[in-house]
Amino acid sequence: MRKKITMIVIIVLVIAILATSIIAISEARKMNRKTTRNHVIAITNWLTTEHSQSSDLIHDAKMLIDHHVARDIPLRVTLIRTAGEVIYDSEAEDLESHLTRPEVQKVLKTGQPAEEIRYSKTLEYDLYYYAALIVDSDIIVRIAYPLSLEDDTVRSVRTHVLLIGLISILLMGAVLAFAIQKISQPLETITESFERLAGGITATRIEESHQVYPEVRRLSASYNRMADTLEEQQASLKQKQSFLDALIGNLASPIVVIDERADVIFINERGMQTFRRFIDPVKHPYPLFLLTHDEEISERAIALISGQTQDRELVKTLTTSEGTRSYHLTLSPLHERRVAILFHDRTAEAEAALLRSDFVANVTHELRTPLTSIRGMIDTLRSGRVMSQEQADRFLQLMEVESERLERLVSDLLILSDIEQSPIKLNEDYFDLTELANEVITQLEPYASEESVTLKLSQSDRFHVSANRDRVKQLIMNLLDNGIKYNRPGGTVTLSWSAFDIRETSDDRQNLSRLTFSVEDDGVGISESDQSRIFERFYRVDRSRSQEPRGTGLGLAIVKHIALLYNGDVSVQSRLGIGTIIHASLLVPVEKQE
């Protein structure tokens, strides 16, 4: 651009200067010729009017010539008679007849002076000829005045004009270069910035205040604004991208993206691990079937892409590196005829659902058994087949036992749901643990002696505990009750506890201790396979004992729930035929009494 502007300006300048010099030169020449002509006419007039004698005339002519030669003007004067005889010629070598010359011919014809400009071949320049008849004589004066002399003046004018033109071109060029530099420099900077921006390099900013021209300043300002916007958008895109990458990468569920032929084109880290295929699908695409070994998923995805179905949910049992699991698949159509498939492992949920329905079935069963007995006995009593009072009393006694069992079951269920649902104040009471234990033992004593089991409280530290007294009592009661129930006659059930501080206190400032209750019996013991299940609701080691009126199958489940309520846990140690120790620990504030 800079070159183009410079070229155009210089061409315009050259043309202007050329035109000026041509006009100036022609004007100068015109003026010069006018002056020459006037001068020649004046000389001729002087010769023609003042002199009639030829000798004088020759003398004057010679004087005139000398005068001019002294000024380096080769003036030529010729005196011709009308008959054709040459009287005088300042350059006398050529004395041929001059009558044939056009100017002389004109004078002869009209009697008036005549002029002519002719190129002289011998002298190689233009000559101005002027001829006139001397008054009252037959002599014609002819003067030849070299025009080359006046051309010298013109030439000098031309030289000056050209010189001035050259200087002005140089000056203009310099000024122009400076001006163009001023415009193009910032343009170049802006161009470079744009190029860098296009190349993906961090955009630079242009100093607006340094710009001289307001147009460039505006351009710079809008460039800066654009760079700002672009950078903002880029940053937000990058943020979104990294957010998505992190999200998908760390997702605990496999995600697979497939194309319209059900070929895998993306799989997240988790997916690779789950399906144990560490192939980069970008480099080596492969069918989804290789991962899932299931046709239906691929078919559903293709149907979804082609719009044949809108059903995006699918439940599948797949064998993966995590074993045979139940997956809930969500298919989401993406742009460009692709589908993202999310594999949600819902094995745990399925198990939980199974557990829930088991629980309901269990509760129903446990409730129905005593109810059926009571109904049966009522029917029998009504039918009138019971004759003796003794029999009737026996029936009533049995009905009482069954209703007690129902009552216990309902109250246990209530306790369980209470623990599970209603948040209670965990540390609302402050009580003496030994006192509480003695209270429970006193309460259970009749039942224990009925079963010929001795209850013992081992020598434990005296503690004051901040907890819900009812819950702790329930826990001790259930543990002891369980020990009595599964003991043999003559056995012993021993309750003990211990506590140790936990340094890392949790959210509140209370100093928590791990308080562990242990109940040891020397009863039948629990087999290893049953040990993990005894804390489940309605689980009974010995199914045949489930009809026993005292047990609800919820005792240890309640113990476990109370322990969990206080962030503790339960465990069991047992050997068949030797005995069982059940531990239940709670995290509670404990104060040791001296």
Partner 1 sequence: MVNRPEFQEDLAAIHRDMIHLGSMAEAAINKAMQALRENNAVLAHEVIQGDDAIDNLEREITQECVRLIARQQPRASDLRDITANMKLVTDLERIADHAEDIAGNTLAIIDSGLTIEIPSDFLMVNDLVTHMLHEALDAYVSRDLSLAYHVIRTRNRIGFVGQGLSKLIVDTMLDQPRLIPALVQLILVANHLQRAADHTQNVAEWIVYHLRGTYVSELDELPSEDELDRRTDSESAPSYLGDDSDTSETEE
Distance of closest approach, residue 543 Cβ to partner 1, in angstroms = 22
Nearer to partner 1, 287 or 577 (CB): 287
| Comparison of 277 and 346: residue with beta carbon closer to partner 1 | 277
Please provide the DSSP assignment of 98-159 as one string. -TTSHHHHHHHHHSS-EEEEEEETTTTEEEEEEEEEPTTSSEEEEEEEESHHHHHHHHHHHH
CB of 191 vs partner 1, minimal distance in Å: 39
CB closer to partner 1, 278 vs 500? 278
Rounded alpha-carbon distances, angstroms, from residue 323 to 122, 269, 276, 298, 317 = 124, 18, 12, 21, 10
The footprint of partner 1 (CB under 8 A) covers 261, 263, 276-280, 283-284, 286-287, 289-290, 293, 319-324
User: Cβ of residue 307: shortest distance to partner 1, in angstroms?
Assistant: 23
- Of the pair 21, 320, the CB lying nearest partner 1 is at 320
DSSP lists the bridge partners of residue 498 as 516
Q: Give the integer Cα–Cα distance in Å for 359 and 373.
A: 22
Strand 125-133 to strand 579-588: parallel, antiparallel, or no bridges (unpaired)? unpaired
Element (H, E) at 18: helix 2-50
Closer CB to partner 1, 283 or 382, in the complex: 283
- Of 273 and 460, the one with the shorter C-beta distance to partner 1 is 273
Q: For residue 243, what are its two tokens?
A: 């957010």
Contacts for 544 with CB less than 8 Å, ≥ 6 apart? none
Whichever of 173 and 285 has its CB closer to partner 1, that residue is 285
**Residue 261 or residue 368: which is nearer to partner 1 going by CB?**
261
CA 538 to CA 199: how far, in whole Å? 71
What minimum distance in Å lies between the beta carbon of 259 and partner 1?
12
Cβ–Cβ contacts within 10 Å for residue 367, how many? 15
Between 261 and 575, CB nearer to partner 1? 261
| Backbone φ and ψ of 203, nearest 5° | -65, 140
Query: In 3D, which of 280, 279, 275, 282 has the Cα closest to residue 341?
Result: 275
Nearer to partner 1, 276 or 533 (CB): 276
Number of residues assigned to the chain: 594
Smallest gap, in angstroms, from Cβ of residue 261 to partner 1? 8
Least distance (Å) between residue 267 CB and partner 1: 12
**Over the range 499-529, which residues count as b (16 or more CB within 10 Å of their CB) and which as e?**
beeeeeeeeeeeebbbbbbbbbbbbbbbeee
Least distance in angstroms from the C-beta of 324 to partner 1: 6
For 206, other C-beta atoms within 10 Å of its C-beta total: 19
Alpha-carbon gap, residue 173 to 3, rounded angstroms: 11
Query: At closest approach, how far in Å is the CB of 265 from partner 1?
Result: 14
* φ and ψ of 73, to 5 deg: -110, 115
CA distance 341 to 262: 11
> What SS3 class is residue 571?
strand
CB closer to partner 1, 231 vs 351: 351
- In the sheet with 590-592, reading across from the earlier edge strand, the strands are 429-432, 463-467, 590-592
**CB 519 to partner 1: min, Å:** 37
CB of 276 to partner 1, least distance (A): 6
Q: How far is the C-alpha of 392 from the C-alpha of 398, rounded, in Å?
A: 10
What is the spatial distance between Cα 569 and Cα 563, in angstroms, rounded to a whole number? 5
Element (H, E) at 118: strand 114-120
Nearest distance in Å: CB 285, partner 1: 9
